Amino acid sequence: MPLARNPVKLLKFVFCFHNKAFCLRSPKSRTRGVWLEVRGNSRCRGTTIPATTAAILCVCVCDGRYTRIPLTHPPGRRPPSLERRLFASGGAGRRRGSGPRPVLAMSLYRNSVWFVKGLRHYCRSGYESASKHFVPEDLEVDVTGRHFMVTGGNSGIGKAAAKEIARRGGLVHLVCRNKDRAEEAKKDITTETDNQNVFIHILDMSDPKGIWEFTERFKNEHRLNVLVNNAGCMVNQRELTKDGLEKNFATNTLGTYILTTALLPLLEREDDPRVITVSSGGMLVQKLDVSNLQSENVAFDGTMVYAQNKRQQVVMTEQWAKAHPSVHFSSMHPGWADTPAVRSSMPDFYEKMKNRLRTEDQGADTVVWLAVSREAGKQASGQFFQDRQPVPTHLPLAQTKSSPGDEAKLMQFLEELSQKFKPR
């Protein structure tokens, strides 16, 4: 029987994840409706409800905040659907100056469904399950003579992807911010693969003017078949670059936009050109917000800003695919992988999940597949991939789809902003 029609059975429910528990209970049996209560660090014993209901009701991060959602209706009124009750409060967030607000229903739903999805598909076990259906011959290729650029290639998924591309004969350009770590990565890759065609370029992806200057030099000196946009950051306090740009946006969105658009003429000269952007499944909890691209209008949350940037990357990929049909574009989610970036930017998440995270090679597998396999090139351009398969870019009922007008505004804003930093 649906939850809303049988609320008596939902008197208590505990969703435990490591040391956090979230209590769903009826405050008083005499009340006119049963309420869902969510509190961080609550502890109680309760009855079991179906997993699908748990996916809707559980939440992964509460931070002590509190919300109540009615699961029944006042007497004499037609009961609205469960979805309408869950979504009635709209989106989440806390406007500056408005004071503390509860976790709202839509945010609760998005984060809950996403987290349960992640436990099933984004961990190491999800990769192991998906890999049973991989075709090994897809990666048995020789890409000698093809030129690849990997940003953020000195560690983590970028380094793992660069290594596998070099192992198959590709000429690899590592674009890194730190020279010492770039040199170390180059040494590791050339030693492991016996491929000496690995070159480093020092570039800060949060510096738009520097990106324009780099691409002009690169176009005059090199060829390029495949661009892998992997570099990114998650800064948890609002920080501005020397150009007055919010740092996450400058690196993850504007930097990716400028590098890609500036290199498109070089890519379009080659056979089978490809652009792969390493996004994140976290973007599933975000709807494109063109009114707040630099995170000025809400209380700053680095994790959610990062997720919004990753949603922007997916939209950019879709728009590029429409505008440049001669280039194959794709974005992808590497899963929850054990990388230096995860350890430094999300230490609490890492400590709780470290025994379930994917390896760097597992996280990079789909990047490599998209970059080198013939099968990937046969897929429609502009799609979002996970474990070598195109997957939806929106959770069901999550209301994260943006209008064509907002997507056009994003691209127009990025184009106009990027031109301000282009050398004359």
Is residue 81's pLDDT more than 80?
A: no
Residue 378 forms part of a structural domain? yes
Residue 137 forms part of a structural domain? yes
Residue 68 forms part of a structural domain? no
1 confidence band (pLDDT: 50, 70, 90)? very low
Three-state DSSP class for 383? strand
The residues that are catalytic are: 306
- Assign residue 394 the CATH number of its domain: 3.40.50.720
Is residue 230's pLDDT more than 60?
A: yes
Instruction: Please say whether the beta carbons of 228 and 201 come within 8 A.
Output: no
CA distance 48 to 54: 9
CA distance 228 to 256: 10
> Token pair 């950051």 is at which residue?
233
297 confidence band (pLDDT: 50, 70, 90)? confident
Structure tokens belonging to residue 10 = 């939902």
Is residue 290's pLDDT more than 90?
A: yes
pLDDT of residue 105: 66
CA distance 244 to 204: 15
144 confidence band (pLDDT: 50, 70, 90)? very high
Residue type, 114: W
* pLDDT, tens digit (0-9, with 9 covering 90-100), for 305-327: 999 999 999 999 999 999 999 99
Nearest to 256 by CA among 296, 307, 316, 306: 316
pLDDT of residue 298: 82
Is residue 62's pLDDT more than 60?
A: no
How many structural domains comprise the chain? 1
- Segment holding 14, helix H or strand E: strand 12-17
Residue 218 forms part of a structural domain? yes
Residue type, 305: V
* pLDDT, tens digit (0-9, with 9 covering 90-100), for 398-408: 999 999 999 99
Residue 26 forms part of a structural domain? no
Distance of CA 163 to the CA centre of its chain: 23
Is residue 367's pLDDT more than 90?
A: yes
What secondary structure, in 3-state letters, does 233-296 show?
CCCCCCCECCCCCEHHHHHHHHHHHHHHHHHHHHHCCCCCCEEEEECCHHHHHCCCCCCCCCCC
104 confidence band (pLDDT: 50, 70, 90)? low
Residue 95 forms part of a structural domain? no
Is residue 38's pLDDT more than 80?
A: no
Distance of CA 50 to the CA centre of its chain: 28
Is residue 123's pLDDT more than 90?
A: yes
Distance of CA 17 to the CA centre of its chain: 22
- DSSP annotation of 40 reads T
**Window from 56-65, 110-119, 171-180, 253-262 with minimum mean pLDDT:** 56-65
Q: What is the mean pLDDT of residues 123-134?
A: 96
Domain range for 401 is 104-420
For the chain, the distance separating the N- and C-terminal CA atoms, rounded to the nearest angstrom, is 67
Residue 248 forms part of a structural domain? yes
CA distance 307 to 107: 13
19 confidence band (pLDDT: 50, 70, 90)? very low
Q: What is the mean pLDDT of residues 158-187?
A: 98
Other Cβ atoms within 10 Å of 334 Cβ, number: 28
Residue 58 forms part of a structural domain? no
